[in-house]
Amino acid sequence: MMPELHMDPELMEEAVFLVLKDQEASGNPAPLKDFHEKRDLIYERKEGREEAFTDLAAQTFRGMGLEELFTGRLREFPGLDGRLRRVSVRSSESRKAEDCELFVSKGSAALLLVGLPPERFLDRPGLMTFLRKELMRADDMLDPAFAYDRRRTIGGESPMEDELIRERFRLLWDLWMAARMKRRGWPTAPGEAGHRKLNGLSEVVTGREHWTQEELLALAKTARDKSGAGMDRRTFLRRAPQELAAGVRGLFSDPAGPKTGQRLAVLDVARCLAWSGVDCQLCHLRCPLREKAILLDSRRPVIVASACDGCGICVKACEAVNQPAAIRII
């Protein structure tokens, strides 16, 4: 049985208004006018108005093909049938806040929670790509062959090293998903389809149809220099953030050319005061995404590439106490 789809009524209503207003701005005011006329009739009722407004929004949502964006993608992943019980879609404040989280409990099918901003519905191709990627990730996590275990030991020598391995694992997993999407003839999001080398690992990952979580984690732990010799720990910690940043921007480049370059902060631990023994966490204190984009490992900053938006505030903070700064934007 295909997973049940539950849409947040407020999200449906906001999405309907946005799409109808967009159609009006494009020279087709009739659908919005018709929608308002139906709402006016509901206003005249003495009872049951809220339920009627919700029903009207849901009917219009389906009528415009917006629900099919979700049900159509679910049909593309028959492996989720029976393993995923429900997909619940709620509203998020912005694109930065959108998320997708899988909840699994013993003895019952899983639940997938998706957070989307209403404006996502103005870009149907982009929304379809997002949904395919997240459903593919859920399909992997629920596939016994992938053997996913969220409690699996990372195996780093410190919390910082664990975080770097996790980031590299996510990057490799994204590469593998992008390759499978391309093989199915599906478009990938800007910045997720390239095949430039990540120390030679991108070709390894994209060339195989099947991986397990343990195998991808083993690759994520691999850190080699150009000659193939193993890196020492300090070199690994210094180079991994740059490598991950290059991977996000370079490995996942759109074949048609990047639309917008993703800016990322990169920390040179050799120049960082905190990593040299000085008690300094100014970049961490000034970061708008503190505890997301910049973490502290024994009071030393660690930049998380996947959460950084490249605002540059950390660079200015570093420059106030360190010249030249240990952080740069690439």
CA dihedral 304, 310, 314, 319 (to 10 degrees): 130
Does residue 2 surpass a pLDDT of 80? yes
Question: Cβ neighbours of residue 45 under 8 Å, at least 6 residues apart?
Answer: 52
Structure tokens at 182: 């391309």
How far, in Å, CA of 36 to CA of 84, rounded? 37
- Domain limits of the chain? 4-123, 144-249, 263-330
pLDDT digits (tens, 9 = 90+) for 204-235: 788 888 999 999 988 888 743 333 334 444 55
Q: 3-17, 26-40, 152-166, 255-269 — which is least confidently predicted?
A: 255-269
- Each residue's pLDDT tens digit, 82-131: 999 999 999 998 877 888 999 987 777 899 999 999 999 999 999 999 99
Q: In whole angstroms, what is the distance from residue 70 CA to residue 137 CA?
A: 15
Question: Beta partners for 112?
Answer: 87, 102
**Is residue 315 scored above 50 in pLDDT?**
yes
In the structure, what pLDDT confidence band is assigned to residue 62 with cuts at 50, 70 and 90? very high
pLDDT of residue 314 exceeding 50: yes
SS3 readout for 99-139: EEEEECCCCCCEEEEEEECHHHHHCHHHHHHHHHHHHHHHH
Under DSSP, is residue 95 helix (H, G, I), strand (E, B) or coil? coil
Confidence (pLDDT) at 258 = 32
pLDDT of 195 reads: 40
Could you give the CA distance from residue 254 to residue 250 in angstroms, rounded to a whole number?
9
Q: Average pLDDT, whole number, for the chain?
A: 83
Length of the chain: 330
- Calpha distance 3→111 (Å, rounded): 9
Q: Which of 29, 13, 12, 11 is nearest to 21 (CA)?
A: 29
Look at the domain 263-330 and name its fold: Alpha-Beta Plaits (3.30.70)
Whole-angstrom distance, CA of residue 162 vs CA of residue 223? 13
DSSP string for 148-212: --TT-----SSHHHHHHHHHHHHHHHHHHHHHHHHHTT----TTS-----STTHHHHHHT-S---
Mean of pLDDT values over 303-325: 87
pLDDT at 256 over 80: no
Q: What pLDDT shows up at residue 323?
A: 84
Residue 148 has pLDDT above 50, yes or no: yes
Q: Tell me the pLDDT tens digit for each residue of 8-54.
A: 999 999 999 999 999 999 999 999 999 999 999 999 988 999 999 99
